[in-house]
Amino acid sequence: MVHDKEVLYDRRSLFILDQSFFLRKALVWFIEWKWFDRFITFIILANSVMLAMTDYNDRIYGPDYVS
């Protein structure tokens, strides 16, 4: 039970981490948290905006360009 949802994962992760391992429980809780999902989506959108705003002509036509 994570965030009042029933989640089913494999009994062993990476063949070493059991279901009852505290670190695995904490990481599952974190990745199932709705704000983590929103944060990742925001980072992807911000990265897309930054890529769209980049002017690559400076690299091609700048003073340091070597063909």
pTM for the predicted model, two decimal places: 0.64
Model confidence pLDDT, tens digit, residues 4-43: 777 777 777 777 888 888 888 888 889 989 999 999 999 9
Q: Letter for the amino acid at 35?
A: W
- State the Cα–Cα distance between residues 49 and 17, nearest whole angstrom: 38
Reduced to 3 states (helix: H, G, I; strand: E, B; else coil), residue 5 is strand
Tokens standing for residue 12: 């062993």
Tokens standing for residue 14: 């990476």
Query: pLDDT value at position 67?
Result: 66
Helix (H) or strand (E) holding 42: helix 34-53
- Domain segments of the chain as ranges: 12-61
